[in-house]
Amino acid sequence: MSRTVMMADNSMKRYEQVIHYLMVRIEAGEWVEQEKLPSVRSLSELLGVHRLTVFKAYQELKQRGIVYVRDKSGYYVSPAKPLSDTDQGDDPSVSAWLHWDTLDRVQSLEAEYQFSKSLIDPALLPNRYWGELMRDLLDQYPRLLGTYSTIQGDLELRTSLASHLTAKERFYLSSDEVLITSGAQQAIDVISRALVKPGDRVLIERPTYGPAMEIFRKQGARLVFTDIHPEGYDLEQIEHLMKTEKPRLFYMTPTFQNPTGISISVEQRKQLPELAEQYGCFLVEDDSTYDIYFKEKPPAPIFTYDTSGHTLYIRSYSKYVVPGLRIAAIMCRSHLMAGLQAIKALTDNGSPLLNQKLFLRYFQSDRMHQHLSKLRTALQLRMEVMEQCLLETDWTWTRPEGGLNIWADLPEGIDTGRLLHQSMEHSIAFVPGTVFDPSHASGSRKLRLSFSYAREQQIREGMDRLITLAARS
């Protein structure tokens, strides 16, 4: 029997790596509640570790309530229960999400060749214009800095967003169906806390945005995965999961998906709301880079095709306007808004009014549309430079039609977690695939390369170094 390769993280002890192996698979649903786990002997043989190492891992998980023992039978998965903040924060071995393999931790790495940050190079942002806009705004609203926003958000901004999306995307929204949030991640958190109860199933793409998985797990949800392919979703698989698992919601990024860059077809966008209505599942559509397309504008969002009110749409402007403003919005039908506002009130009692007014003035100006047109051109050039570098390798990838990233698959035998350790010695940062796909064996061979933050010459030099390092691995 071939041995399973565990995490390439030398900071974790062997028993902690066994805990990580078990936790990822339990949370991915490979072992469900009340299901028997492998014996100490069989797991030690599978992982190539001593039986005492496996025994120690099981005892740790037993103490934490993740597994329990049946006399003379073995270890079983405990019924689901939410983990408290203290439990998660104090345990150094609970899972990859809170330690080495978190997106925040990887993106905090300082590097000369920065391919981990899915952000725009500050040189491409209209920084001088924002200074002028700030001065004019404070002259117009001298009491602005001493005023709170409403919980739902500035009415003028909500009205402008609703009108724009109704005109451009046929959303047919009113201002009462818009909730302003401080970025897309807060929007995901508000939705999770409003809709998900401990033990609920949440359907989620594989691979997907790592912090979203962490948010839903923190709420006590059990994640159910569905794969995304270059041609989109497997709708038969999704229908089967909706029928058998009865998920409370399906979190998705169907336009320039993070990390793969895939966009699903119009046909799938029409069918998903029908499935959601049929099986009573909410769709949470996260759209953070809708305006960053290189050739053709992407299809209309899923929200456009929803006639039953099962879709909650997250539109973020943080990444490509001014990240520091953290402007995003949740759009949904009125029957869901009261619950979302109640959670938002507990979170921060309303996003900063100054940020909202600044963004509003920019959103209503011609400058934003000019900026987006130039930004799309600049980012496409950077993507093409990175792709030219990849053409010199035997790596595989799907060319993105928009967004900020390339999702690459390296040859068999190269572990991107280990490669990141080596790359940081040469000041190169990227995001290993396990951040987005911890439950699948192929995740350790994949990596996300962001082309939006580094300049073209930096991309050429950094990619040349990275490719050389990977070839030696």
Q: Tell me which CATH code domain 127-364 carries.
A: 3.40.640.10
The first and second tokens of residue 117, run together, are: 């940050």
Compute the residue count for the chain: 473
Provide the pLDDT for residue 397: 95
Residue identified by tokens 């991640």 is: 185
Residues of CATH 3.90.1150.10 domain(s) within the chain?
103-119+369-472
Q: Is CATH 1.10.10.10 the classification given to domain 14-83?
A: yes
pTM for this predicted structure: 0.78
Residues of CATH 3.40.640.10 domain(s) within the chain?
127-364
Q: Rounded to an integer, what distance in angstroms lies between the CA atom of residue 251 and that of residue 208?
A: 9
CATH topology of domain 103-119+369-472: Aspartate Aminotransferase, domain 1 (3.90.1150)
Q: Rounded to an integer, what distance in angstroms lies between the CA atom of residue 455 and that of residue 405?
A: 14
Residues of CATH 1.10.10.10 domain(s) within the chain?
14-83
Per-residue model confidence as pLDDT tens for the chain (473 residues): 444 445 444 446 788 788 878 887 887 677 888 899 999 999 988 888 898 889 888 988 887 788 988 877 899 998 865 433 333 333 333 333 333 446 666 766 778 999 999 889 988 987 777 777 777 877 777 777 667 788 999 999 999 999 999 999 999 999 999 999 999 999 999 999 999 998 899 999 999 988 899 899 888 899 999 999 999 999 999 999 999 999 999 999 999 999 999 999 999 999 999 999 999 999 999 999 999 999 899 999 999 999 999 999 999 998 887 777 889 999 999 999 999 999 999 888 888 888 898 899 889 888 888 889 999 999 999 999 999 999 999 999 989 999 999 999 999 889 898 899 889 889 999 999 988 887 666 778 999 999 999 999 999 999 999 999 999 87
